[in-house]
Amino acid sequence: MGVYDQAGRHAIKRRPSAFFTWQAPALWAAYRLDPWQDTRTLPFPGEPDRVCDAVAEFEHLTGPRNRCLVDVEVQAEPDADMLERLGEYAFRLRRELRYGPGAANKYAVFGLVLNLTGSEQPNRLDMSLPEWSGAGHGLQVAQLTMSTEDAAQTLARIAVTELESWVLPWLPLLRGAAEAVNLTEWQRLASQEPDSQSRSDFGALAVVFAELAGTAAVWRKVLKGWNMKESPQVLEWQAEARMETRAEDVRRAIRLRFGTPVPEDLENQLVAIKKEAELDHWFDASLTAPSLDAFRAAVQNGKRKRKRSK
């Protein structure tokens, strides 16, 4: 599901004002957005390669000493462990990121979960113990669920400039978005965008989100002829999505043929593969090798042959 999460992060960061005035207007009215935090250097527990999706730093309009971080986590499908993950991230961010003279000040840290599909999920985690003076831990996050948003109402707000045009890429995820009248209005509004790069991204992102919503065929028909060639980032996501799908095919074939999950050493190699041709070789080997050991030998032999051919 990584391509959909990436598309969500890109849409938010490309025009933060459009996203936050739509989904968190009170926050946007009271705070000013500073640069996004780079969390790649923070090794989160149990996830050595994991970084927060998008961590925005906000400064309150009343003064620069009142700052907070908002960790926006995008999920293509509901994740039962999301609250626990957000709790881990919040405490780590608060402990390791500081601001002010001598980096002496700690941020208030808030979590925001963006559900691209599915229904609203629990947004509060209460681990207090009433019998022990309420001791314990708790977490409450803000939650945005696209399926609860109405497409027609959102388009109407864009039409009167109450919302920015960069809300348009999200429309395929909203309720009623695939209805003919809403598709026509989407086209009309998107065509009014003066920036050609943004128009291209509107169409490309809409198709990506429509794939997730199960309405890609409808949106591709509507966007036939729409110039999306200027969106190399989206093309890269689509290539990554094909790679993810192919890798999952390999995992499934190994489970079914050899009756075991992919061993850790092979999983590490699998996620490091960058070329579709190599994934094709792994998939073929998973179907033809008589045993897991034979499969392991086949993929290693294939790797050595490719190195010699370079």
Q: pLDDT tens digit string along 5-54?
A: 888 988 999 999 999 999 999 999 999 998 888 775 555 555 544 456 68
298 and 214 in a common domain: no
Q: What is the residue whose two structure tokens read 């190994």?
A: 254
137 and 29 in a common domain: yes
182 and 198 in a common domain: yes
> For position 258, what pLDDT does the model report?
92
> For position 226, what pLDDT does the model report?
82
Give me the domain span that covers residue 265.
233-309
Instruction: Give the C-alpha distances (Å, rounded to integers) separating 179 from 147, 171, 200, 224, 265.
Output: 14, 11, 22, 17, 48
Q: Is the pLDDT of residue 228 over 80?
A: no
What count of other Cβ atoms lies within 10 Å of the Cβ of residue 144? 18
Average pLDDT over residues 203-221: 91
Say if 153 falls within a structural domain.
Answer: no
114 and 32 in a common domain: yes
Say if 76 falls within a structural domain.
Answer: yes
Domain boundary at 148, 177, 208, which? 148
CA atoms within 13 A on the CB side of 216: 8
Q: Is the pLDDT of residue 304 over 70?
A: no
242 and 215 in a common domain: no
User: Is 277 exposed, middle or buried (CB count within 10 Å of its CB: 0-12, 13-18, 19+)?
Assistant: exposed
238 and 224 in a common domain: no
> For position 74, what pLDDT does the model report?
93
Higher pLDDT, 290 or 225: 290
> For position 271, what pLDDT does the model report?
87
Average pLDDT over residues 152-163: 98
Q: Is the pLDDT of residue 197 over 90?
A: no
The C-alpha atoms of residue 30 and residue 63 are separated, in whole angstroms, by 11
The C-alpha atoms of residue 179 and residue 5 are separated, in whole angstroms, by 25
Residue among 240, 292, 291, 247 at smallest CA distance from 267: 247
Within the chain, residue ranges assigned H as helices are 2-14, 16-23, 25-30, 82-96, 151-159, 180-191, 196-213, 216-222, 232-258, 264-272, 276-288, 292-309
User: Is 139 exposed, middle or buried (CB count within 10 Å of its CB: 0-12, 13-18, 19+)?
Assistant: middle
Q: Is the pLDDT of residue 200 over 80?
A: yes
* Domain count across the chain: 3
The tokens of 112 are what?
């925001």
Say what the pTM is: 0.76
> For position 49, what pLDDT does the model report?
43
242 and 141 in a common domain: no
> For position 243, what pLDDT does the model report?
84
96 and 13 in a common domain: yes
Say if 200 falls within a structural domain.
Answer: yes
138 and 17 in a common domain: yes
116 and 6 in a common domain: yes
Say if 154 falls within a structural domain.
Answer: no
The C-alpha atoms of residue 95 and residue 20 are separated, in whole angstroms, by 26
Asked if 218 contacts 178 with a C-beta cutoff of 8 angstroms, the reply is yes
280 and 210 in a common domain: no
Domain boundary at 230, 255, 288, which? 230
175 and 123 in a common domain: no
Domain boundary at 230, 247, 269, which? 230
